[in-house]
């Protein structure tokens, strides 16, 4: 890393590298959970980075329905998983949403929708939020180390 850059530039560089690592790890977890059907979820994993903000804001995002895979959904009237999401009883809507997937798997989308809504729910896969939270301390460690390295570099430069 070129320590002659400003501290702000170096921190932004570390943040961008960290964000890329987080996205890569999220995608690896999606593959491990075998959540790839059409590739829509995988390709929807993105980040936005605001270089102009004071503290280098970055946000992660994915397809709206990905949160249900990540956090899980409880079946109607039961609390199987530690999640705030619960099916509401609209089997027709769920069956419609599952139509293409069920067809490819040669399953009855109405039967799958009923099973999900009334007995199984959707098991949390924990690939998104938990990955970001697990990797967040590394960002702080890297920034602290950068500041130490930058301070040493500046002192050595001044003493020459």
- pLDDT category, 143, cuts 50, 70, 90? confident
Q: What pLDDT shows up at residue 56?
A: 60
State the chain's mean pLDDT as an integer: 88
User: Regarding predicted confidence, which is higher, 156 or 3?
Assistant: 156
Parallel, antiparallel or unpaired: strands 46-49 and 58-61: antiparallel
Where does the chain show beta strands of DSSP type E? 46-49, 58-61
Task: Indicate if the pLDDT at residue 157 is higher than 90.
Answer: no
Q: What pLDDT shows up at residue 86?
A: 93
Q: What pLDDT shows up at residue 55?
A: 59
Q: Which of 43-52, 84-93, 124-133 has the highest mean pLDDT?
A: 124-133
- What pTM value is reported for the model? 0.79
Question: What pLDDT, in 10s, does the model give residues 35-64?
Answer: 877 788 999 999 987 666 655 678 899 998
Q: Measuring CA to CA, how many Å separate 81 from each of 74, 86, 148? A: 6, 10, 43
Q: What pLDDT shows up at residue 51?
A: 64
- Owner of token pair 């067809």: 103
The whole-angstrom separation of Cα 102 and Cα 17 is 38
The DSSP result for 61-90, as a single string, is: E--TTHHHHHH-BBPTT---SS-S-B--S-
């Amino acid at each position: 890393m070129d320590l002659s850059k400003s501290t702000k530039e170096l921190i932004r560089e570390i943040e961008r590298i960290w964000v890329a690592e987080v996205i890569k790890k999220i995608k690896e977890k999606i593959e491990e959970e075998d959540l790839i059907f059409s590739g829509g979820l995988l390709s929807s994993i993105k980040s936005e980075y605001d270089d102009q903000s004071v503290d280098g804001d970055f946000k992660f995002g994915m397809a709206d329905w990905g949160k249900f895979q990540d956090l899980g959904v409880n079946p109607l009237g039961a609390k199987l998983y530690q999640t705030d999401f619960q099916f509401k009883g609209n089997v027709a809507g769920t069956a419609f949403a599952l139509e293409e997937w069920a067809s490819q798997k040669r399953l009855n989308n109405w039967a799958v929708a009923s099973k999900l809504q009334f007995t199984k729910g959707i098991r949390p896969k924990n690939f998104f939020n938990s990955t970001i939270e697990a990797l967040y301390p590394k960002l702080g460690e890297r920034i602290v180390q950068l500041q130490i390295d930058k301070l040493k570099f500046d002192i050595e430069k001044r003493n020459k």
